[in-house]
Structure 1
Amino acid sequence: MIDTPRPASHKSLPGWLHEGARVYDPNQDRDAIVQFIGDYEDPYTRRFIKNAVFLRPEGGGREWIVDPEVPRPADGR
């Protein structure tokens, strides 16, 4: 695995939480793959999430967004 430097905005996140990581979302009770981490403002509610985590089910499907505190390592349930 190539160790790429993390953006400054991601330095406050745990090391296991990165794009491509397999994680568990307890709110959805399912595993997912991190697609992207970045600031997000919901266009309908105007709620802003710093370092929002964009998740997609393993094998594909509809993406969803969670706060960075939500996901856990998939193997560390």
Structure 2
Amino acid sequence: MILDDYTKTLLNINKLPLVLTNEDLKRQFQVSDSTLNRLVKLSDFPNCWYGIRGHYSRDQVIEWYQKNDYEDFKEKMRLLRSV
């Protein structure tokens, strides 16, 4: 079962374009515009691909996703909401 899940995940990753747009990210993360904007601004999210606003390297986004536990982002969001 675990191998099947891993294989399915790998296949889904390989189907993604090499450069992800904001629309791709919203679809993959299932978040709104405002949540995506906060995520990009408040975390160590990868820089824009070659400086093109709203475009990100798939490999950098996947690496960022795999290394983060989101606790820092959650804490920053909690603090912002309390202001």
TM-score normalized with structure 2 length: 0.27
**Which one has the largest radius of gyration?**
2
Report the structure, 1 or 2, having the larger helix content: 2
TM-score normalized with structure 1 length: 0.28
